[in-house]
Amino acid sequence: MLSAFLGFAGAAPADRDMPLVFAGAATGWTPLGDGVDHRDVTAETGRGSQRLRAWRFDPERWRLRIVPAPEHGFSVHRIAPDYGLAVNGGYFDYRNGEGPRTLVPTGLVIATGEQVRRYGGGSGVLFDTGRGIGISWASDRAAWAGAEQALQAGPLLVDPGGRIGINRKNGPRARRSAICVTDSGEVIVVVVSGGITLYELAGVLAAAPPGGYGCERAINLDGGPSTQVFGRFGDAVFDVPGLSAVVNAVVFEPRE
């Protein structure tokens, strides 16, 4: 079980007074294929509509792959697999030179065993060792040592053990994207449009099912205009366009 792989210590209760948690309790998961489900939750708030789309993967059937972009970035729909899902990855800086600005990752990137970018900014690392998918503190190098795929990002929205990892409740609202590992071992990709704070997103992820997602730990990806996802599962196609190019993508595809 992936929960054992991650050293699961039990999920803490989260704030239930959140519209997305209550709306989620009335919204089930829809199977898309072998080991993958989808959920689409919309909640009306005093600040407008929030929509949370999630894809849940069985890590025994699905693997994670990091795809670096060319120097000027890409949109994830360009590299999405024929069967699977691609979501925006980590943070980046712009580098000016002759011609268009280039995008440079700000943290560790390991793609198919090759270190593309060295260790840098971001409190967490998302990784696939070939045996399982994990999320760890970036400083815990032993956890992701030898990973075939790894991406440094952050902050951790849910700290190991299911504890909300964000202290500031009144942060900025923005489009968000995140990946979590649940207390039962699934890996969930989450994209939120409409504007949500990191604290609110952490609360939804940490809250117990059916309204929440039961995340044992979760990592924030580059949000705002970078938030984007494209997925194909047979006849089911999902497209959340981004508002800017991104420096890399996280791809989920069936394990061979």
**Residue 18's pLDDT band (boundaries 50, 70, 90)?**
confident
Out of 11-15, 140-144, 162-166, which region has the weakest mean confidence (pLDDT)? 11-15
Residues 36-42 have a mean pLDDT of 97
The predicted structure's pLDDT at residue 184:
83
Residue 30 has pLDDT above 50, yes or no: yes
The predicted structure's pLDDT at residue 97:
65
Residue 158 has pLDDT above 50, yes or no: yes
| Residues 135/102, Cβ–Cβ less than 8 Å | no
Structural domain total, the chain = 1
The predicted structure's pLDDT at residue 240:
96
The predicted structure's pLDDT at residue 131:
87
The predicted structure's pLDDT at residue 6:
31
Residue 15 has pLDDT above 60, yes or no: no
Residue 16 has pLDDT above 50, yes or no: no
pTM: 0.91
What confidence tens digit (pLDDT) does each residue in 198-247 have? Answer: 999 999 999 999 999 999 999 999 999 999 999 999 999 999 999 999 99
**Residue 46's pLDDT band (boundaries 50, 70, 90)?**
confident
Residue 14 has pLDDT above 90, yes or no: no
Q: DSSP string of 58-112?
A: -TTTEEEEEEEPPTT-B-GGGT--SSEEEEE---EEEE--SSSPEEEESS-EEET
The predicted structure's pLDDT at residue 99:
64
Residue 3 main-chain phi, psi, to 5 deg = -60, -35
What confidence tens digit (pLDDT) does each residue in 49-93 have? Answer: 899 999 999 999 999 999 999 999 999 999 999 999 999 999 999
Q: What is the mean pLDDT of the chain?
A: 91
- Residue 198's alpha-carbon distances to 32, 177, 242, in angstroms, are 28, 10, 19
Residue 87 belongs to domain spanning = 2-254
The predicted structure's pLDDT at residue 7:
30
Q: Interior CA angle at 107 toward 231 and 186, to 5°?
A: 40
The predicted structure's pLDDT at residue 17:
54
What confidence tens digit (pLDDT) does each residue in 120-144 have? Answer: 999 999 999 998 999 999 999 999 9
